[in-house]
Amino acid sequence: MNKVIIIGDDNVNTLGVIWNFSKKNIKVYLLIMGINHKLSVIKSRYVEKYWVCENTSSLIKQLHAIFEAENDKPVLIPTTDSSALIIDNNYDSLKEKYILPSINNVKGNIEMYMNKYNQFKLACNNNVKMAKTKVLDLRKKESITFPCILKPIVSAKGKKEDIRICNNSIEFEEAKKELLELNYTKILYQQFLTYCYEIDVSGFSYNGDVSIPGYIKKERIWPSGRGSTTFGIVKNIHGLDNIIDGIKNIMKQINYNGIFDIDIFVVKKDKEEIFYLNEINFRNGAIAYSYGESLISYYWYLSNINNKMFFSPSIKKDYYVINEQADLHNLFERKISLFRYLGDLRKSKIKMNFNIRDIKPCIYACLYKIFR
């Protein structure tokens, strides 16, 4: 049997993949990046074995030392941008022994399309709308309009905390100064869109086919303006034909084999909803677990080990989902009331941190936050 190896951090992205495979009675192997040994995901009863890797070199050495003698190729699943980048950068040395995500089976192509300006060009070539985008050299004077948002050009080489929203030239100059101090010389500039709501589209591609079982309408995020979903509604893709077709065309054009997680802004204009692609993440996202029995990571795994496409079951009926630990920030910051938090917690079918069948990761995550 092909082993499942998850490469990532101690977070809900990783935990969600563990729980997806647990529904098919498959235990996973973990390679956790970092030096922190207070890890909650390793407490899962569905983890067969784990290793903590301090750096890229250590991770690649572990892969070569532990799994290369397998008769059936193990499948690598990244749960962070940085782990997806590591796999991509080491594609040539891993491809003979592992099944792994790639774009057109070429080393470096995932990194190339992690570049948000390249995503902008890709969107334009496939008739998918995206906010006006360009790369700014922070050392030079450039003509820009406001409001705008400044982001790292490649997510894996930056941090969400480095994102800046600028409403005028004074805020822009202050942001530029801060970003230069953080050693950015170039940054991605995008027109800031005033949108009604955000949606998340997760799925996977294999051999020219694309599976998108549903989407999530984001009700709350954290941190405000640049964060991840903390509460939302999982829905069928009915009515989203244009943007879904555009995403499928993009994945087919670049010949992507892997799981993806895509943020989309929905802008209302003259009572019409217009969809703007915000960002493509070439890895499993935290929200993928919210797709319930669609089991996105499992069906990508199944497709690869059988050399044929297995589509994820589509979402049949709407339901709520909550990242109950992250949503506490919205409570503590008084963005929602305790009554609202408890009500949304109660009505959420899927909770990203709590699983009665596997309670230890939740308990340890709470303990480590309290006693860190």
pLDDT per residue as tens digits for the range 275-333 = 999 999 999 987 789 999 999 999 999 999 999 999 999 999 999 999 999 999 999 99
- 240: tokens are 């989203």
Q: How far is CA 77 from CA 86, 147, 176, 244, in A?
A: 12, 37, 36, 23
* 3-state SS, residue 151: strand
| Residue-averaged pLDDT of the chain | 94
Question: Quick one: pLDDT at residue 130?
Answer: 97
The pLDDT, as a whole number, for residue 21 is 97
- Average pLDDT of the segment spanning 78-93: 96
The whole-number average pLDDT for the span 66-80 is 93
CA–CA gap between residue 283 and residue 304 (Å, rounded): 15
DSSP secondary structure letter of residue 147: S
Per-residue model confidence (pLDDT) at position 198: 95
pLDDT of residue 330: 95
Q: Cβ distance 300 to 316 under 8 Å?
A: no
> CA-CA distance, 256 to 253, in Å (whole number)?
8
Q: For residue 325, give both structure tokens.
A: 């630990």
pLDDT (0 to 100) of residue 156: 86
Contact 13, 83 (CB under 8 A): no
For 95-131, write each residue's pLDDT tens digit.
999 999 999 999 999 999 999 999 999 999 999 999 9
DSSP of 8-74: E-SSHHHHHHHHHHHTTT--EEEEEESS----SGGG-TTEEEEEEESSHHHHHHHHHHHTTT-SSPP
**Backbone φ and ψ of 132, nearest 5°:** -50, 130
- The tokens for 79 are 């749960």
Better-predicted residue by pLDDT, 372 or 76: 76
Residue 22: predicted pLDDT: 97
Can you give 158-207 as a three-state secondary structure string? CCHHHCEEECCHHHHHHHHHHHHHCCCCEEEEEECCCCCEEEEEEEEEEC
Task: Flag whether pLDDT at 372 surpasses 80.
Answer: no
239 sits in the region (left: phi over 0; alpha: psi -120 to 50; else beta) called left
Position 226 scores a pLDDT of 67
Q: Average the pLDDT over each of 67-71, 136-140, 258-262 and give the range with the smallest value.
A: 67-71
Q: Which residues of 140-177 are buried (b: 16+ CB within 10 A; e: fewer)?
A: eeeeeeeebbbbbbbbbebeeebbbebeeeeebeebbe
* pLDDT value at residue 270: 85
Per-residue pLDDT tens digits for 146-175: 999 999 999 888 888 899 999 999 999 999
* Reported confidence tier of residue 37, pLDDT bands at 50, 70, 90: confident
Q: What angle do CA 39, 45, 49 make, to 5 degrees?
A: 65
Q: What is the pLDDT of residues 219-275, one digit of tens each?
A: 999 987 667 899 999 999 998 999 999 999 999 999 999 999 999 999 998 889 999
CA 276/CA 273 separation, integer angstroms = 10
β-partners of residue 57 are none
pTM: 0.94
